[in-house]
Structure 1
Amino acid sequence: SGLGRITENTPKYNGVIVYTMNDVPLGFGVAAKSTIECRATDPMSLVVFHQADVGEFLRNEDALT
């Protein structure tokens, strides 16, 4: 998928929350690129370093107990 929107002036390595286009939170991570870099990058470039997502607990629930 691609980047639909990004907050203005997001600095590189800043904490970010990832949402769907309908504003449903999906997870969070760290910005791999600043807003300016994201606008000029390849559409398939990495823009967020994943830290966690809403389905992570459900996928790993058996290993946690």
Structure 2
Amino acid sequence: MRRAISVGRDQLMSVGVCFGKFTKSGKFKLHITALDYLAQYAKFKLWIKPNGEMQFLYGNHIAKAHVGRISEDVPEHQGIVIFSMADVPLGFGVTARSTVDIRKLQPTDIVVFHQADVGEYLREQDTLF
């Protein structure tokens, strides 16, 4: 921001990282550009198996069959960061069930609802910034 002082206000477009945007209804929609910061400080994490990575990156929800590991004591409807098995952050979502309930589910049941993934850089590059 100190360097931005030397640029005139009418020529400066933005400073820093875009974490998201406010919708017309006043809600904040988190963008994938915040993933690097969320991944560092995330309390709840899920590691996805290699056979489920591409499905998640195409915008699909995560089924129980694709879960490699998950943090302990994750509550239902909680934000969660998705990692590959190699600890590469892939995106984030919202849990459909708690960790206790996930153990009882069928392999085809949804565990995490998709919110954003790194594939959005390609799919929505016109509206991302």
TM-score (norm 2): 0.47
Counterpart of 2:87 (choices 15, 23, 28) is: 23
Map 1:1-65; keep pairs closer than 5 Å: 1=52, 2-61=66-125, 63-64=126-127
Superposition deviation, residue 60 in structure 1: 1.5
Q: Which has the higher contact order (CA 8 A, sep 6+)?
A: 1
Q: Structure 1 unaligned segments of length 5 or more: list them.
A: none
Asked whether the equivalents of residues 3 and 43 of structure 1 are also in contact (C-alpha less than 8 Å), the reply is no
Question: How far off is 1:16 after superposition?
Answer: 0.1
Query: Percent identity, aligned pairs only?
Result: 50
* SS in structure 2 at match of 1:11: coil
Length, aligned pairs only? 64
2:124 is matched by which residue type in structure 1? N
Paired residue secondary structure (1:8) = coil
How many Å separate the matches in 2 of 1:39 and 1:17? 19
Q: Which runs of 4+ in 1 moved over 2 A?
A: none
Query: 1:12 corresponds to which letter in structure 2?
Result: E
Uncovered stretches (5+) of structure 2, i.e. residues with no partner: 1-51, 53-65
In 1: Cα distance, 2:68 partner to 2:102 partner: 11
